[in-house]
Amino acid sequence: MLARIEGAPAGTRGISLFIVPKKRIESDGSLAANDLNTSGVYHKLGYRGCPIVQLSMGDKNDCHGYLVGDANSGLKYMFQMMNAARIGVGLGATAKSTAAYYATLDYAKTRCQGRKVTEKDPLKPQVPIIEHADIKRALLFQKAVNEGSLSLLLQSAKYLDLYHALPEGDEKEKYNLLTEILTPIVKTYPSEMGVHAISQGLQCFGGSGYCDDYPLEQYYRDIRIDPIHEGTTAIQGMDLLGRKALMKDGKAMLLLMEEINLTITAARAIPELAPKAEKLAEALGTQQNVTAALFKVAGEKGPEIFLADATLYIEMFGIIAIGWQWLLQGVKAKDALAGNPSKADLNFYQGKLFTLRFFFEYEMPKIEGLAVRLMSSDAVTVEMETAFFDD
């Protein structure tokens, strides 16, 4: 548990880390109750199978906590755990959203309703709903979010493994910085967009999706906590913009741009992918312009306005990061297709290329709107008075 020692410095500098056991070891080696009790159970929107409780400490003034490490270093210790936990949240959100996708895909293939819009004969049999363009759009959105998220998670895992495997030096620092700058995105994009992806799945089910005959109603409830777990999206955005983008005088950001540009260069050599590579390059340019403009705002107007739209900043950055991963997958898919693949592999890689097309046509354009807002001088959320929210 995080707690303060009496007389500790104010603010986060005075937080320490403690172990507070249910039972403590007495001097004679026996176990004694540690005045730590469950005083309530939280009834959550999701996570029905997880008993999350409220603890009451010291009702009898006999609760003992044991300091872990140095006093006033609790926040630093917590973040050693927190980064791994944030990656875990992104992975869990991806898993839930992926499970929802496969349930939706199965339903869409077997549920017959309506006919092609070009078919005017009402006596013709109805078609599986996967034949309708809007259902394909919803499924492509889910596939793009899920497989893009998993790809980014694996990319981050690769960097983290290299960091742990390499000896001290510039390469080790490189992969540590890449892990650091990607962690808020790896946590945020799958959790935020996973909610939207499962919502699109529910749209495919229609009213049936609200019934527990199908699993999406549970996945939808369970994933909603992930944008909150281990630091809300706003906290991740402020971490990315206010700390990670500035880390080591911007070195982490520059290293990530170099990695993305390597993929852009590889894709430019493939005619089918070259236009997508240009779109990603343009998006990177937009991101750099937005970042520079925000840093200028920080110097002129202070941190409150600078960080006011950090949530939008990480949304924009997340789209670019997933676009990078889809372009990287596209390069690998084109290489595989050049090798005379089997029918099953052919469908797999063609599916990858179509999903890449979808992401660049449907998701990447969102960057433009986000950039307009992020570079606007209208500080409406800062200037809005609390009293104005009253009825």
The residues carrying an active-site annotation are 230
Q: Which two tokens stand for residue 275?
A: 């236009």
315 closest CA partner among 230, 376, 374, 228: 374
142 within 8 A of 101, measured Cβ to Cβ: yes
Tokens 């309506």, residue? 114
Q: Which two tokens stand for residue 56?
A: 């009451």
187 within 8 A of 87, measured Cβ to Cβ: yes
Q: Residue 57 corresponds to which amino acid? A: M
22 within 8 A of 36, measured Cβ to Cβ: yes
Long-range contact pairs involving 286-294 (C-beta distance under 8 Å, separation at least 24): 286/367, 286/368, 286/371, 287/316, 287/317, 287/320, 287/367, 288/257, 289/371, 289/375, 290/316, 290/371, 290/374, 290/375, 291/241, 291/245, 291/253, 293/374, 293/375, 294/241, 294/374
323 closest CA partner among 272, 363, 293, 287: 363
Q: Which two tokens stand for residue 35?
A: 């005045």
Cβ neighbours for 273, distance < 8 A, ≥ 6 positions apart:
267, 327, 330, 331, 334, 356
Q: Which two tokens stand for residue 196?
A: 């939207």
Q: CA 47, CA 52: separation in Å to the nearest integer?
A: 9
